[in-house]
């Protein structure tokens, strides 16, 4: 019995055609370029840009990073900086008071120059100068948040004069609101390196905010 013999196909000759056909089909259908099959790429941030989730948000990611870094560099809790900015300007970089205080942290021109900020409308410059002032006041008043805020609002001379929070309704209300928002009456005076641990600004190997009591 004889079997029917099919013509022998020389696959080598057809290889280029097959490759071209496969390339054409995959590009036409987008099979290999489907989002479902494409490799996932995560935008990473450096360790220094890690912002714990319990730190308030301004609604502006760039500003949040400016505030966080200002706190890192001076040893000031970013949560306190947010509380001050929220009360002072409601995160409006163009805010100006009746007495001439400007910017996010409502600094007077003299205070700006004192802490090396010539342009108070510049967000980074304003936040850095205001944070340096807070750090200076915290050290002067041994970490007492209420006295620090009172001095920030009415001047350290007024706090010295009254040996405490000056009896000014504006200052008293100002201190109460920020303390309530911040939630603390004492702020440890520590180095920037110590502050990273003290205020839980680092993350552990699991990616969670490190905690140290």
Q: pLDDT, tens digit, for every residue of 32-69?
A: 444 444 443 333 344 456 899 999 999 999 999 999 99
Q: Judge whether residue 7 has pLDDT over 60.
A: no
- C-beta separation of 80 from 134 below 8 A: yes
Q: Judge whether residue 30 has pLDDT over 60.
A: no
Q: Which residues pair with 186 in a beta bridge?
A: 144
pTM of the model: 0.74
Which domains are seen in the chain, by residue range? 47-198 (1.10.530.10)
> Which residue matches tokens 């603390």?
184
- C-beta separation of 171 from 159 below 8 A: no
pLDDT tens column, 64-114: 999 999 999 999 999 999 999 999 999 999 999 999 999 999 999 999 999
Instruction: Please state which of the ranges 15-19, 125-129, 181-185 shows the lowest mean pLDDT.
Output: 15-19
Q: Which residues pair with 102 in a beta bridge?
A: 96, 107
Buried b (16+ CB within 10 A) or exposed e, 136-154: bbbebbebbbbbbbbbbbb
- Judged by phi (left if over 0) then psi (alpha if -120 to 50, else beta), residue 164 lies in left
The predicted structure's pLDDT at residue 16: 52
**Active-site positions?**
88
- C-beta separation of 164 from 122 below 8 A: no
The predicted structure's pLDDT at residue 194: 95
Q: Which residue has the higher pLDDT, 130 or 15?
A: 130
Rounded mean pLDDT, 4-27:
49
pLDDT tens column, 109-164: 999 999 999 999 999 999 999 999 999 999 999 999 999 999 999 999 999 999 99
211 confidence band (pLDDT: 50, 70, 90): very low
The predicted structure's pLDDT at residue 202: 82
Q: Which residue has the higher pLDDT, 20 or 141?
A: 141
Q: What distance in Å separates the CA atoms of residue 203 and residue 187, rounded to the nearest whole number?
A: 21
With a CB cutoff of 8 Å and minimum separation 6, the contacts of 64 are 51, 55, 57, 58
């Amino acid at each position: 019995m004889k079997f029917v013999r099919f013509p022998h196909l020389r696959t080598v000759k057809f290889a280029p055609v097959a490759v071209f056909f496969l390339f054409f089909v995959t590009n036409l259908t987008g099979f290999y370029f489907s989002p479902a099959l494409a490799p996932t790429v995560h935008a990473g941030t450096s360790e220094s840009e890690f912002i714990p989730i319990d730190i308030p948000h301004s609604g502006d990611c760039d500003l949040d990073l400016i505030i966080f870094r200002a706190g890192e560099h001076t040893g000031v809790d970013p949560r306190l900086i947010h509380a001050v900015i929220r009360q002072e300007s409601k995160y409006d970089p163009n805010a100006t008071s009746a007495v001439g205080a400007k910017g996010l942290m409502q600094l007077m021109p003299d205070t700006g120059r004192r802490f090396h900020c010539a342009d108070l409308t510049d967000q980074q410059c304003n936040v850095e100068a205001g944070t340096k002032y807070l750090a200076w006041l915290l050290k002067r008043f041994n970490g007492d948040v209420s006295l620090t805020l009172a001095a920030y609002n009415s001047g350290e001379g007024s706090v010295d004069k009254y040996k405490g929070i000056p009896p000014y309704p504006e200052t008293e209300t100002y201190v109460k609101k920020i303390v309530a928002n911040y939630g603390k009456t004492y702020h440890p005076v520590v180095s920037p390196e110590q502050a990273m641990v003290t205020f839980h600004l680092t993350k552990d190997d699991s990616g969670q905010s490190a905690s140290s009591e």
